[in-house]
Amino acid sequence: MTNTNDFPSFSTNPGGTQLDDDPINEIALHEGDKLSLISQIDTTSLTAPLTFLEFEVNIDTKELELQEVNVIDDKVFDITLFDPVVDPITGLSTQKVTFTAIDHGQPPNTVLERDNVVLKAVGLNNDGIRDFDLVVTSAIDAHGNDVTSLFQPPFEFEVQAETF
């Protein structure tokens, strides 16, 4: 898969499509369905290998439940998952994740399929609010340059009930 943008990104496939009038892309599901997402680190336009990446993932636990994370490629980065923090009122789960290069990092202009993330739809509310988002909070290249700003905007989608 190639990046259709001119900047690096951390995203998942599938990423959703526009199904209604709000600005957030959606993924249509039935309650109880499992959604398998392949996470991708895309280093389009970087001039040196990516050696460190930190991001924050937010999941609306009233609509999505994390089932499992399966590593696809463990040769480029070591991963550290920090304990999620769940807001008891909103149900929003926030978790910090870091990737640290094992050797030289991920070369520029490449796409690394890193993980298969499986989520389960536990409730579907088409409220126009994102149910999953991922924001890169720190990115460093092999020269020590902070390239965080190149990984904007955040990746996000909403789940909604599939209709037939």
pLDDT digits (tens, 9 = 90+) for 1-19: 444 567 788 887 877 777 7
Please, are residues 96 and 56 in contact by the beta-carbon 8 Å criterion?
yes
Measuring CA to CA, which residue among 69, 23, 58 is closest to residue 131? 58
Give me the pLDDT at residue 1, please: 40
pTM of the complete model:
0.85
The pLDDT value recorded for residue 107 is 97
Topology at the third CATH level for domain 9-17+26-159: Immunoglobulin-like (2.60.40)
pLDDT at 3: 43
Quick one: 6 exposed, middle or buried, by C-beta within 10 A (0-12, 13-18, 19+)? exposed
Q: Where are the domains of the chain?
A: 9-17+26-159
| β 155-161/26-29 pair status | parallel
Assigned token pair, 123:
């409730």
Q: Give residue 80's pLDDT.
A: 92
Question: What are the mean pLDDT values of the chain's consecutive 10-residue runs (164 residues total)?
Answer: 65 77 84 92 95 95 92 90 93 94 95 93 84 94 96 87 70
pLDDT for 150 equals 93
